[in-house]
Amino acid sequence: MASMDLNGLSCHINTKISIIKKSLQLRKMGKMDPSLKTVLGKIAHEMYLLNDLLNQLELECHRQEGQQNQLKVANNRNGGPPFHPHIYLTPIMAKMATLGGSHKNS
């Protein structure tokens, strides 16, 4: 996988958020039925993965924005053609996007 665009990652994150919302609904049910405790463990795991992924994404975006600004300045100094920035995920970020695995809707 060379790079993953931000739209793909956004879709992935939205899917994760949807899964967490569904899991939180199950959590309400779990309070009434203690046998659903494993679901609560999965909720906590998904929330941890999502939080970590969002933190890494934010750091990567800031890093790439800094590089983008440096390239704009360098391009303007050299009188080059207009600079059209693109933000791509590194292979590490693409790998992080798959940390939660795949989920099947029941």
Structure tokens at 53: 């992924």
Q: What are phi and psi of 24, to 5 degrees?
A: -65, -35
pLDDT in tens, 3-36: 557 777 788 788 888 888 877 777 777 777 776 7
Verdict on whether the full-model pTM lies above 0.75: no
* Extended beta strands in 23-92, E state: none
Matching residue, tokens 């207009």: 82
8 CB contacts (<8 Å, ≥6 apart)? 97
C-beta of residue 47 within 8 angstroms of C-beta of residue 57: no
Structure tokens at 19: 């899964």
Note the residue count of the chain: 106
pLDDT in tens, 52-98: 888 888 888 888 888 888 888 887 787 766 666 665 666 666 666 56
Structure tokens at 24: 């939180």
